[in-house]
Amino acid sequence: MKKIFLSLILLTGIASSLVSCTNEDQDPVASLTQNIVLSTPAGADYVLTAPKAADDVATIKWSSADFGYSASVTYSLQVVKATADFSEPQSFVLGSFNDSSISNHEKVLTQRQLNSMLLGAGGAIGASGSFKMRVVGMPSTQLESSANGVRSVSQEVAFTGNPFDTFDEFDRIYVPGSFGGSSTFADWAPDNAPRLFSANNNGKYEGFVWMNNASPAFKFTPGPAWSGDKGDLTENPNTFTKLGGKDIKPVDGAGTYFFTVDWLANTYTIAKVRVAIIGAATPNGWDNPTDLVFDTNPASPYYRMYTKDLVLKADEFLVRLKDDWSIKMGTMSGGVETLVATSQNKIKFGGGNMKVPTAGNYKVVLDLNNSANYNIKLIAN
């Protein structure tokens, strides 16, 4: 895989080049300078593959912006389809730097990081697509929604890339059962069943399965066939100790279940959960959760995700899976973070509060399909 070095030369002189935002740029700031120069050849081709997800693919290089005063500057790489404008870009924060003491910067991107941006921009898995990128710099103390701020952007650079399916990065097991046909899959069909993924490819799996069946039963299989299946000796949800055991039959009825499975140790856990969000940003505040709904429409872009159209406040919230707060999900850092609207915002168990960037009407989209990439999107309606 060849590495593409992008040399981004930020020119100074913002005061002489300020222009107002155009419909093309859609930047939520009053002053915009477009004098950053991207000195990289157009037409770079990124062929991304799941086995090399952790490999470096591009080094982004750029020099410091000059806003006319000493400031720490935050830079982001933005990517959209070649036919789109940058009103809703996929953004990757390159870093924040005190540009009064540093004149040049660089950031190495992995295949996984670039792949996430291409998928978020609407790239088709396994197909080469046309995209464009730019770099944006803004003072670190400036709010993204500031109406009186300043921002520097580069010209747009075209490139191509074919993203891979993020699921292909990780080992998985299958959960065929009696619930499949009523839950967007098929009954007792390992090749058409929910999957649990191993984020570290170490034989330990976890994930969520929606079972729309009052009396579900299932087994685990190591592949999309019955060979090597594992059940439970007692038909109770605690441990399995041999291949081809009895069907596992949880007693809590229809709903979403969270699993952990240690394939080598022959142990597993299962717990029914309530998929909801709660917090000051939500209609019911911190007192009552708002349930999300599993999308069963195969034509929907949110198929097999949990969604809800809501009016949200510019405030904080969490994903809560148990009413006793024993299972919650939030920011990867563990601190309060403002979400990037329309983008995938990765979340984790026990994470910090998430903040809605701007009050308004949103479609909340919670994607729990891949244990290595739990994420949430806020899409403005």
Q: Quick one: pLDDT at residue 1?
A: 41
For the chain, first and last CA: distance in Å?
Answer: 40
Confidence of residue 43 (pLDDT cuts 50, 70, 90): confident
Quick one: pLDDT at residue 241? Answer: 62
CB atoms closer than 10 angstroms to residue 287: 7
293: three-class secondary structure by DSSP: strand
**Residue 79, beta-bridge partner list:** 90, 133
Q: What is the pLDDT of residue 105?
A: 78
pLDDT higher than threshold 80 for residue 147: no
pLDDT at res. 35: 61
CB atoms within 10 A of CB 70: 10
pTM for this entry: 0.72
Render pLDDT for 187-224 as a digit per residue (tens, 0 to 9).
999 999 999 999 899 999 999 999 999 999 999 999 99
Residue intervals of the chain classified under CATH 2.60.40.3620 are: 276-380
H or E, element range at 271? strand 267-273
Range 170-273: architecture per CATH: Sandwich (2.60)
Q: 27: pLDDT confidence band, cut at 50, 70 and 90?
A: very low
Q: What sign results for the dihedral spanned by CA atoms 200, 201, 206, 211?
A: positive
User: Which tens digits make up the pLDDT trace of 304-363?
Assistant: 999 999 999 999 999 999 999 999 999 999 999 999 888 889 999 999 999 999 999 999
Q: Which residues of 134-145 are buried (b: 16+ CB within 10 A; e: fewer)?
A: bbbbbbeebebe
Q: Predicted confidence band at 73 (pLDDT cuts at 50, 70, 90)?
A: confident
Element (H, E) at 311: strand 306-312
> Cβ(353)–Cβ(331) under 8 Å?
yes
- pLDDT (tens digit per residue) in 218-257: 999 999 999 999 998 776 655 676 656 889 999 999 999 9
Q: What CATH class does 276-380 carry?
A: mainly beta
Residues carrying CATH 2.60.40.10, the chain = 170-273
Instruction: Kindly calculate the radius of gyration of the chain based on its CA atoms and give it in whole angstroms.
Output: 23
Q: Which of 189, 170, 169, 171 is nearest to 179 (CA)?
A: 189
- Nearest Cα to Cα of residue 67 among 141, 145, 155, 157: 141
Mean pLDDT of the chain: 86
Which of the given ranges, 100-104, 144-148, 296-300, has the highest pLDDT on average?
A: 296-300
